[in-house]
């Protein structure tokens, strides 16, 4: 563990406050012990950040034991309890909660570093899992010894250590720790790699963790190099959450793929557990599709929409829900437009509709589009799909979802505001008693 001690000594020599993620298990307790030893020469303030995941009966007692240890060693103890989980992916949700808590403590205590107990065996498991699952180039690095988060850095001083190294350190220094029985369960993917794959690799080469660390560092260098290239061109092809296909196609295929990855990493805030190469492939297929309007859904309600020569990344929750509103005088619509009944106007554009109440069934309604909507356009024999009107007018998927449709009480479409007038619309010289304006 001398290597880990020297790493910490070098990195935090000028720090005043560090936050350490401590579960109470053997890895994190070894880390906490290292930090306490280091405090003698650096005079740092240590914040022990403990999460009670609330999934084991032993958790409450373990938190109490850890708190007592911190009080005895003059370490500030901070804890939180996760009361419930909403996500189907327990590990992913717990990770997000953990790091949000860590960042709160960084801010509260003006910490410069977050220190975690990830070690060499963890790195092997992470790299292998991402290779099998599929990931980005950055994802294949697993994690690094130092991660710069802007306002603070994450340090992983045990990255060169194996589990065996850590257990020996605990024995030599008589360090007590808790054992999480769920770590032995085959239910979780990581546990299966830990139990069945790592022993085989270590039989082949006991220092295999060093080979994986070198692999990680090499991939990280290439990833950083590509990111520098992408940062120089991204503002030309990707503006306001919109990727411009014509500009995108001017780049080499490998740069195209890296642009997609860069966008995904920015959307998911580098949470690479949510991104796989399948998502990159799906977006590339969407871009190359002959269909002018289509979309795909990504994790966390992210919607990727193709609209002719644009690819738009948006939050699916932001799409308007179905609605139907009675038109009496004035309505503020969910697309931030307004529709109202007015007394008079000389305007005769598609933003004005004139109707004769004797030819329609009142009241009038404004609603969202529905599958199968059809309308009879003024001056045209037969009816036409509203979907085809949107296509002809080159309206993208988001615009279509938010476009108002004016109908009578029998659900006959009398007007597609701003686009098309129906057979019910009256010319200025004809008889009418209703005027509607859209703006």
Counting as low any pLDDT under 70, the low residues of the chain are: 85-92, 270-273, 316-321, 336
Q: Could you give the CA distance from residue 271 to residue 278 in angstroms, rounded to a whole number?
A: 16
Residues 293, 185 share a domain: no
Residues 355, 406 share a domain: yes
Residues 32, 145 share a domain: yes
For residue 115, the cross-strand partners are: 20, 155
Backbone angles phi, psi at 130, to 5 degrees: -75, -35
Residues 191, 52 share a domain: yes
* Number of domains composing the chain: 3
* Domain final residue pick, 318, 338, 356: 318
Domain that includes residue 21, residue range: 2-215
Residues 199, 276 share a domain: no
Does residue 352 fall inside a structural domain? Answer: yes
* Domain final residue pick, 283, 318, 353: 318
Is the sign of the CA dihedral 297, 298, 301, 304 positive or negative?
negative
Residues 350, 309 share a domain: no
Backbone angles phi, psi at 340, to 5 degrees: -150, 155
* DSSP track, 160-178: G--HHHHHHHHHHTT----
Is the sign of the CA dihedral 397, 399, 404, 407 positive or negative?
negative
What is the domain-level CATH number for residue 296? Answer: 3.30.465.60
Residues 44, 156 share a domain: yes
Task: State residue 317's pLDDT score.
Answer: 52
Residues 352, 299 share a domain: no
What is the domain-level CATH number for residue 10? Answer: 3.40.50.620
**Segment 153-181, tens digit of pLDDT:** 999 999 999 999 999 999 999 999 999 88
Does residue 298 fall inside a structural domain? Answer: yes
Q: Could you give the CA distance from residue 280 to residue 104 in angstroms, rounded to a whole number?
A: 32
* Domain final residue pick, 281, 301, 318: 318
For residue 168, give Cα distances in angstroms to 17, 48, 164: 28, 23, 6
**Segment 15-63, tens digit of pLDDT:** 999 999 999 999 999 999 999 999 988 889 999 999 998 878 888 999 9
Is the sign of the CA dihedral 361, 366, 367, 371 positive or negative?
positive
Residues 271, 165 share a domain: no
Residues 370, 302 share a domain: no
Residues 269, 328 share a domain: no
Does residue 114 fall inside a structural domain? Answer: yes
Task: State residue 320's pLDDT score.
Answer: 47
Task: State residue 261's pLDDT score.
Answer: 92
Residues 157, 137 share a domain: yes
Q: Are 13 and 105 in contact (CB under 8 A)?
A: no
Q: Could you give the CA distance from residue 176 to residue 78 in angstroms, rounded to a whole number?
A: 19
For the question of whether the overall pTM of this predicted structure is more than 0.85, the answer is: no
Does residue 164 fall inside a structural domain? Answer: yes
Does residue 222 fall inside a structural domain? Answer: no
Does residue 227 fall inside a structural domain? Answer: no
What is the domain-level CATH number for residue 366? Answer: 3.50.40.10
Does residue 110 fall inside a structural domain? Answer: yes
Output the CA torsion 184→189→194→195 (10° steps).
Answer: 60
Does residue 370 fall inside a structural domain? Answer: yes
């Amino acid at each position: 563990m001398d290597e880990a001690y020297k790493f910490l000594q070098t990195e935090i020599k000028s720090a005043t406050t560090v936050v350490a993620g401590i579960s109470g298990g053997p890895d994190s307790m070894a880390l906490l012990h290292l930090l306490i030893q280091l405090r003698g020469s650096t005079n740092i303030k240590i914040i022990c950040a403990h999460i009670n995941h609330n999934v084991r009966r032993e958790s409450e007692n373990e938190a109490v034991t850890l708190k007592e240890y911190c009080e005895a060693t003059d370490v500030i103890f901070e804890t939180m309890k996760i009361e419930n989980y909403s996500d189907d992916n327990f590990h992913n949700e717990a990770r997000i909660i953990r790091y949000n808590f860590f960042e709160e403590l960084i801010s509260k205590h003006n910490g410069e570093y977050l220190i975690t107990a990830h070690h060499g065996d963890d790195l092997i498991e992470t790299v292998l899992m991402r290779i099998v699952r599929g990931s980005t180039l950055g994802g294949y690095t697993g994690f690094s010894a130092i991660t710069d988060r802007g306002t603070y850095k994450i340090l992983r001083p045990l990255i060169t250590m194996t589990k065996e190294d850590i257990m020996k350190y605990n024995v030599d220094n008589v360090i007590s720790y808790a054992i999480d029985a769920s770590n032995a369960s085959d239910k979780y993917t990581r546990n299966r790699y830990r139990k069945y794959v790592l022993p085989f690799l270590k039989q082949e080469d006991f220092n295999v963790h060093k080979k994986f660390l070198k692999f990680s560092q090499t991939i990280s260098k290439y990833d950083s190099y590509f990111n520098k290239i992408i940062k120089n061109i991204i503002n030309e092809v990707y503006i306001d959450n919109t990727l411009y296909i014509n500009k995108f196609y001017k780049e080499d295929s490998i740069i195209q793929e890296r642009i997609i990855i860069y966008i995904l990493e920015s959307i998911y805030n580098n949470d690479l557990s949510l991104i796989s190469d399948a998502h990159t492939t799906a977006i590339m297929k969407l871009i190359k599709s002959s269909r002018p309007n289509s979309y795909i859904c990504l994790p966390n309600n992210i919607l990727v929409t193709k609209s002719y020569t644009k690819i738009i990344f948006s939050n699916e929750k932001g799409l308007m829900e179905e609605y139907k509103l009675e038109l009496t005088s004035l309505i503020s619509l969910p697309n931030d437009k307004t529709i109202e009944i007015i007394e008079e106007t000389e305007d005769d554009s598609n933003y004005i509709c004139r109707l004769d109440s004797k030819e329609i069934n009142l009241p009038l309604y404004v609603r969202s589009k529905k599958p199968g909507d059809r309308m009879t356009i003024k001056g045209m024999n037969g009816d036409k799909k509203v979907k085809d009107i949107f296509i002809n007018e080159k309206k993208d998927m988001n615009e279509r979802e938010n476009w108002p449709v004016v109908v009578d009480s029998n659900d006959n479409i009398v007007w597609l505001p701003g686009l098309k007038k129906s057979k019910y619309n009256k010319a200025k010289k004809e008889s009418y008693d209703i005027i509607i304006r859209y703006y």
